[in-house]
Structure 1
């Protein structure tokens, strides 16, 4: 079974126009990613990012609604030039059946993030997110501005904020562009 999954993953890279943005491995330095939880607003949610024994990133923790909290996230500052024809972000992940958001920033210090929510199934899956549908948001409020239409990305992030107290666990294998 592992051989079939490896073959399918390798086939995806060969058969499509996929460019890898980030791949977790046993050599990954998880401190490249920054944890940003609701503590920045007084909340008490907790999260961590570790490598599991297979080299996947494991973003996990507990979201608390106490003190007006309610989110946990991880962020990676990385400049990615978007070549013409690259229209999708692909995520190879294994979630816990919960909703998450994948976020982009065109400028690290810009206030708005461009957001695309997605659901997980509890199985390994490849989720395809259309870049043109990432909408701008600040502090949980959608902005009346155009969707993501920039030539580069400077920050990637995963966020969970389901307006409920919950434990979560998201395994991340790789992030790509297609």
Structure 2
């Protein structure tokens, strides 16, 4: 094993969140709206509304970075506080990779720290599972959080940090 952990992103009141991009279902004609901001405590807040109108149904926020070798690590740790709804965390080996690796989790309404083994990330494209091995954990160039529960709903999730462990 290599180093103990590596911080991919730590939210604070001085964080530059300009590299966090929101992608709504408007890319397919949908009407969902999501936004990312920092709250008074310096936590990242991804919030908005998922609409099913016009074949919509999702909102995601993604953080792309120069692909990083991650073979010294075996899991992704994320500290967050959700709203009791289900979300997906997605990773890509590079931001240009057309498919992603996804892990679905439930939030509790309280702060929780999830430690997700790389092998728990399942390959998928547009929500459909691909017949490929799970995330190989060689390189990582993007992390995203998505909500898309096939229902119209408001959402809010607070983010503290994302680490490689």
Q: Same fold (TM over 0.5)?
A: yes
Which structure 2 residues correspond to residues 114-153 of structure 1 after superposition, within 5 A? Answer: 114-153=101-140
Show structure 2 runs of 5+ residues with no match. none
Structure whose residues are more often strand by fraction: 2
Map of 2:145 onto structure 1: 158
Show structure 1 runs of 5+ residues with no match. 1-15
Deviation track 1:110-163 (CA, whole Å, cap 9, x = no partner) reads 110100111110001101111112111111111111111041101110000000
Map of 2:93 onto structure 1: 106
Structure whose residues are more often helix by fraction: 1
- TM-score if structure 1 supplies the norm length? 0.88
Map of 2:27 onto structure 1: 40
RMSD: 1.2
SS at match of 1:30: coil
Q: CA deviation at 1:58?
A: 0.2
Check whether the contact 1:21–1:80 (CA below 8 A) recurs between aligned residues: no
Q: 1:63 to 1:155 in 2, by over 3 A?
A: same
Which structure 2 residues correspond to residues 1-178 of structure 1 after superposition, within 5 A? Answer: 17-78=4-65, 79-84=67-72, 86-178=73-165
Check whether the contact 2:118–2:137 (CA below 8 A) recurs between aligned residues: no
Q: Please, which moves more after superposition, 68-77 or 27-36?
A: 27-36
In structure 2, distance between residues paired with 1:150 and 1:29: 26
Number of residue pairs matched? 162
- TM-score if structure 2 supplies the norm length? 0.94
4+ residue runs of structure 1 moved beyond 4 angstroms? none
